[in-house]
Amino acid sequence: MNIKQDLTHLLVALFMVLVNISMYCQNLDDSPFLNIKSFGAKGDGKTDDTPALLKAMEAATQSDGTVYFPHGNYLIHPIKVPSHITLLGYSAWGYENKDKADKDYIGKTILTAQSGDARALLNLDNNRGIRIIGLTLDGKKLGKRMHGVYARHSGSEQHNIIEDCRIQRFSGSGIRLERSWVFGVRRCLLMFNQEHGVDITGGYDGWMIDNQFTANNGYGLFARGEPHPDKTKEEIKDLKFFGGASVMVTANRIEWNKKGGIFLNKSNSMQITGCAIDHNFGPGIKITNGTAHTISGNLLRSNGVDAKDDACSQIWLENVNGVSVTGNTIWGWYNRKEYKFEFPYPFYGIIAKNLQGSVISQNAMYQSSSKEGISDRGGNGTSIIKDNAYVKPKIEKIDGGGFRILENK
């Protein structure tokens, strides 16, 4: 009797194991993850993995699939990404390798450009519902004005999202959202790009949250306000709008960019809140010819480094209507040691010229600038500019060049 019971229990257990194995295999077949190596990719930094990626993306469009990239260095030529797929990796990138102790600092899942004669390495164009997550994109400075990611709509919201990506060394911008409608850029590092970190010329209705824009040759965040010289008449007619609008720029670190932190021209309804804008080689924030912007709760520190004239400023506002600049902390940090200051940059805390219906108030401006806290250039008659706590730094020139900061008492 016991032998029969034991045999029955054994058969039941074996049956359950077989059922679980069958279900597991079925789940593998139905898995939303399409491993790019199953399509022939090597990820060895030597093989051209473009054909494998194209096959994997095509398969993803025919299923509910996500193209998954295991750790590796995937060499690819520029491609166009179809709608409603996800490109997913777990690159786990760092920042720099200053102590030479981190060989994987740029990440463990890398898409490396093999050529640069294209608009972007990943061209989203007019496609929608795309997710690019957890990848390192390396442009190797190839081509002329090739961007890392590019998108542009033709009449409908796109809702493309880029998350947890390191996008570096592109001959254009890290990301260019040209007339892109509804987008998100989150937890990304935009670094060492030859133009800007993110160019939103013509882009609107978006979110930029928890990103780091660092050491780009242009601005960290940029909206030209005018057509780029390389645009044809047909493209200009199609694009129509060349500013940026209704983008929430929140909790980003924007630093060490060569032309400045943020530049917005002919833009409207931008919200810049809770950002750290630090040590840019031009204005921390420059906004011209725009309407209805909010600049609130940000830290601006030692911007305008090496810049001349008005570019040597923390915030520069000119020909703007309905801008609110309140509750920011602005500091010059004149005794900073990590960079040699030949002159006491920045010169100006906030430059205000031709502002209508605007408010500049309640900003903490301790040693924010060496010449003026608020530089009122006129034309601000309908605006409120008051109650900003400016303390001018005491600076002493040193014989032979340079200066030193004296304690304010």
pLDDT at 161: 98
d(CA 399, CA 409): 24
The more confident residue out of 153 and 131 is: 131
Strand locations in 98-152 (E): 109-113, 120-125, 131-133, 136-138, 147-151
What is the percent of the chain where pLDDT is above 70? 92
Report yes or no: 260 and 281 within 8 Å, Cβ to Cβ: yes
Q: Which residues 6+ apart lie within 8 Å of 289 measured at CB?
A: 225, 265, 266, 318, 319, 320
* Per-residue model confidence (pLDDT) at position 395: 84
Q: Give exposure, 145-176, as e/b (b: 16+ Cβ within 10 Å).
A: bbbbbbbbbeeeebbbbbbbbbbbbbbbbbbb
- pLDDT of amino acid 344: 87
Tell me which H or E stretch contains 11. helix 2-29
CA distance 179 to 265: 15
242 pLDDT band, cuts 50/70/90, is confident
pLDDT tops 90 at residue 229:
no
The predicted structure's pLDDT at residue 9: 61
Smallest CA-to-CA distance from 66 within 81, 77, 76, 49 is with: 81
Q: Do the Cβ atoms of 318 and 348 come closer than 8 Å? A: no
- Asked which of 82-96, 143-157, 321-335, 338-352 is least confident by mean pLDDT, the reply is 338-352
Beta bridge partners, 385, equal 360
pLDDT at 294: 99
Quick check: 75 and 45 in contact, CB under 8 A? yes
What is the predicted pLDDT for the residue at 14? 61
Mean pLDDT confidence for 114-122: 97
- In angstroms, the CA 85 to CA 129 distance is 7
Question: Can you tell me the mean pLDDT for 356-385?
Answer: 98
Kindly report the CATH number that applies to the domain delimited by 86-91+110-406: 2.160.20.10
Residue entry with tokens 């058969």: 11
Q: What is the pLDDT of residue 24?
A: 41
DSSP codes joined into one string, 259-276: SEEEEEES-BS-EEES-E
Question: What Å distances lie between residue 316 and 20, 61, 160, 194, 323, CA to CA?
Answer: 65, 46, 31, 24, 12
Give the tens place of pLDDT for each residue, 40-66. 999 999 999 999 999 999 999 998 789
Q: pLDDT tens across 313-339, in order? A: 999 999 999 999 999 999 998 877 777
Q: What integer is the mean pLDDT of 1-26?
A: 54
Sketch the domain layout of the chain as residue ranges: 1-30, 86-91+110-406
- Which stretch of DSSP H or E encloses residue 234? helix 233-239
Residue 286 is which amino acid?
A: K
CB 277 within 8 A of CB 286: no
Residue 229: DSSP 8-state:
T
CB 200 within 8 A of CB 244: yes
The pLDDT assigned to 19 comes to 45
